């Protein structure tokens, strides 16, 4: 069996880890210590209560000849063990209150990043602060050949960061207050990085926010924590914390990359060019539901192979890609560019057994349909 690494994951879980992940923000630090405090108090109470119980079990048993007493109430004792726990609970709540208030204060952020949960990847938009305008998608980069499938052994050895590695990491500068606002396109997802002490549900149609200020350079890892359908376990979150200088470099690089990638929607493509591009889009975004065979999953996700929608007139297909279709098909207009949508439609119309009469869609047609 290819069971994978015997080393700890940097910025993620360690092997046989017993406690919370090592904190790299003040909030996470506080959580860590409140948890330790709670644990100790609870352990003390536990030992005290069960010390008494086990003492009684040993001494007050019939087999050692103990005769039963008859008392059955004591107002004083009963009041005591109501009031004392009450006070203990208050003592526990005090430090927690301070932390809650601090966690909720998302004001005066240096950088604001929007994280959008989608089935099954994260989209990031840098909304404010240095890097404003950067936007990208972040998908799991662990190949399926490491995961395997029922009846199919994984063919590749699992890496150290198995399941918590992505193609595009979120990059942020160290010691800066980062506000993350979360939302979702389809169902609820959960954005978390344990080392930061941050976890916030991403709710479709709503925005929520949270913040962190990482104090140590490094890469930190989390996973989607709200059940979001079949690939729930496969949409991790990776945040890389870098120095200010490195951050600047990253922003410049990213901006250049984005400019290079931006397609001119008025460019006219050939079928083969579009097919090639479309295949990439398909394997990145569509294959999870519609499958590599284009056969879909009966009852859950429709087949594209030999589908009337794909082989018929192109307008309805463009529309479905742009706007989605309940229950399962997401709207892609905010995720994919015109060129990508045109490419993937063209790909589906010329793949498997499909030989559509209208076999090509140009980006300009998608652009027109957006309006």
Partner 1 sequence: MSSQHANAPYYFVPGPSKWPVLGGTTLLLTMIGASAWVNGLAWGSYLNFAGIILTLVVLYKWFGDAIAESEGGKYSARIDVSFRWSMSWFIFSEVMFFAAFFGALFYARAISMPWLADLDHKVLWPDFAATWGNVGPAGTVEAFRTMGPFPIPTINTALLLTSGVTLTISHHALREGHRAKTAFWLFATVLLGAVFMGFQVYEYMHAYSELNLKLTSGIYGSTFFMLTGFHGFHVTMGAIMLSVVLYRLMKGHFTAEHHFAFEGAAWYWHFVDVVWLGLYVVVYWL
Partner 2 sequence: MSTTSADHAHDHSHDHAHDHPHGWQRWLFATNHKDIGSLYLWFAFTMLLAGGVMALGIRSELFQPGLQLMQPEFFNQLTTMHGLIMVFGAIMPAFVGFANWMVPLQIGASDMAFARMNNFSFWLMPPAALLLMGSFWVPGGATAAGWTLYAPLSTQMGPGMDMAIFAVHIMGASSIMGSINIITTILNMRAPGMTLMKMPMFCWTWLITAYLLIAVMPVLAGAITMTLTDRHFGTSFFNAAGGGDPVMYQHIFWFFGHPEVYIMILPAFGIVSQIVPAFSRKPLFGYASMVYATASIAILSFIVWAHHMFTTGMPVTAQLFFMYATMLISVPTGVKVFNWVATMWKGSMTFETPMLFAVGFIFVFTMGGFTGLILAVTPIDIQLQDTYYVVAHFHYVLVAGSLFALFAGFYYWGPKWTGFMYNETRGQIHFWGSLILFNITFFPMHFLGLAGMPRRYADYPAQFTDFNQIATIGAFGFGLMQVYFILAVVIPSIKGGKPAPAKPWDGAEGLEWTVPSPAPFHTFEEPPVFK
State yes or no: residue 224 binds ligand CUA (CB under 6 A): yes
Instruction: Select from ligand CUA, partner 1, ligand HEA, none the partner in contact with residue 131, using the beta carbon and a kind-dependent cut-off of 5 to 8 Å.
Output: none
Give min distance, CB of 189 to ligand CUA, in A.
3
Nearer to ligand CUA, 88 or 287 (CB): 287
CA dihedral 139, 260, 183, 103 (to 10 degrees): 90
Strands 208-212 and 121-128: unpaired
Q: Give the one entry of partner 1, ligand CUA, ligand HEA, none that residue 45 binds, where binding means its C-beta sits below a cut-off of 5 to 8 angstroms depending on kind.
A: ligand HEA
Which does residue 335 touch among ligand HEA, partner 2, ligand CUA, none (CB within 5 to 8 A, set by kind)? none
Compose the 118-137 pattern: x for residues touching ligand CUA by CB under 6 A, - for all others: --x-----------------
Q: How far is the CB of 225 from ligand CUA (least distance, A)?
A: 7
Choose from partner 2, ligand HEA, partner 1, none: what does 108 bind? Cβ within 5-8 Å by kind.
none
The SS3 call for residue 315 is helix
Question: Is residue 6 within 8 Å of 159, Cβ to Cβ?
Answer: no
Q: How far is the CB of 299 from partner 1 (least distance, A)?
A: 11
Tell me the backbone φ, ψ of residue 59, rounded to 5 degrees.
-90, -35
Question: 136 in helix, strand or coil?
Answer: strand
Q: At 241, phi and psi to the nearest 5?
A: -100, 125
What residues line the site for ligand HEA (CB under 6 A)?
45, 49, 85, 88-89
- Partner from ligand CUA, partner 2, ligand HEA, none contacting 12, C-beta within 5 to 8 A by type: partner 2
| Closer to partner 2 by Cβ: residue 68 or 264 | 68
Sheet holding 218-223, edge to edge: 170-173, 236-242, 218-223
Give the residue with the Cβ less far from partner 1, 332 or 347. 332
Total of residues contacting ligand CUA (CB under 6 A): 9
Work out whether 221 is an interface residue with ligand CUA (CB under 6 A): no
CA dihedral 336, 340, 345, 350 (to 10 degrees): -150
Give me the helices (H) in 262-371, please.
271-281, 287-290, 308-311, 314-323, 338-349, 363-370
Burial of 147 (0-12, 13-18, 19+ CB in 10 A): middle
- Of 158, 232, 295, 333, the one binding ligand CUA (CB under 6 A) is 232
The answer for residues whose C-beta is within 8 angstroms of residue 170's C-beta and 6 or more apart is 113, 115, 124, 138, 237, 238, 239, 240
Beta-ladder partners of 152: 149
- State the binding partner of 127 from partner 1, ligand HEA, partner 2, none, CB within 5 to 8 A by kind: partner 1
H-run or E-run covering 27:
helix 26-59
Closest to partner 1 by CB, 114 or 275: 114
Determine, following the binding rule CB under 6 A, whether residue 237 of this chain makes contact with ligand CUA: no
Angle at 197 between CA 100 and CA 181, to 5 degrees: 80
- 228 binds ligand CUA, rule: CB under 6 A: yes
Q: Which is nearer to ligand HEA, 2 or 44 (CB)?
A: 44
- Smallest distance, partner 1 to C-beta of residue 322, A: 14
Work out whether 235 is an interface residue with ligand CUA (CB under 6 A).
Answer: yes
Contact positions vs ligand CUA (CB under 6 A):
117, 120, 189, 224, 226-228, 232, 235
């Amino acid at each position: 069996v290819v069971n994978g690494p015997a080393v700890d994951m940097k910025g993620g879980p360690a092997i046989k880890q017993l406690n919370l992940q090592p904190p790299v923000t003040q909030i996470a630090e506080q959580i860590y210590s409140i948890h330790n405090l709670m644990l100790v108090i609870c352990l003390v109470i536990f030992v005290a209560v069960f010390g008494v119980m086990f003492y009684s079990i040993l001494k007050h048993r019939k087999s050692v000849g103990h005769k039963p007493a008859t008392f059955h109430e004591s107002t004083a004792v009963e009041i005591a063990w109501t009031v004392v726990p009450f006070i203990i609970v208050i003592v526990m709540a005090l430090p927690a209150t301070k932390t809650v208030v601090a966690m909720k204060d998302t004001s005066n952020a240096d950088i604001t990043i929007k994280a959008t949960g989608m089935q099954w990847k994260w989209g990031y938009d840098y909304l404010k602060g240095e890097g404003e305008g950067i936007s990208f998608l972040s998908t799991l980069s662990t190949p399926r050949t490491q995961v395997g499938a029922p009846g199919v052994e994984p063919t590749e050895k699992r890496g150290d960061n198995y399941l918590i590695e992505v193609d595009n990491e979120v990059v942020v500068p160290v010691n800066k207050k980062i506000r993350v606002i979360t939302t979702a396109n389809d169902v609820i997802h959960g954005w978390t990085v344990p080392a930061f002490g941050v976890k916030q549900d991403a709710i479709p149609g709503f925005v929520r926010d949270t913040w962190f200020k990482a104090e140590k350079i490094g890469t930190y890892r989390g996973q989607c924590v709200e059940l979001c359908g079949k690939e729930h376990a496969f949409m991790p979150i990776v945040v890389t914390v870098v120095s200010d200088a490195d951050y600047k470099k990253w922003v410049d690089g990213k901006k250049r990359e984005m400019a290079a990638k931006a397609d001119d929607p008025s460019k006219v493509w050939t079928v083969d060019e579009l097919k090639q591009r479309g295949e990439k889009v398909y394997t990145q975004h569509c294959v999870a539901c519609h499958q590599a065979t284009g056969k879909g999953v009966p009852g859950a996700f429709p087949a594209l192979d030999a589908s009337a929608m794909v082989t018929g007139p192109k307008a309805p297909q463009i529309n479905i890609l742009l706007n989605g279709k309940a229950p399962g098909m997401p709207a892609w207009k905010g995720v994919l560019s015109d060129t990508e949508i045109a490419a993937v439609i063209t790909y589906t119309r010329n793949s498997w057994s499909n030989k559509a009469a209208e076999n090509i869609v140009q980006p300009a047609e998608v652009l027109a349909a957006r309006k």
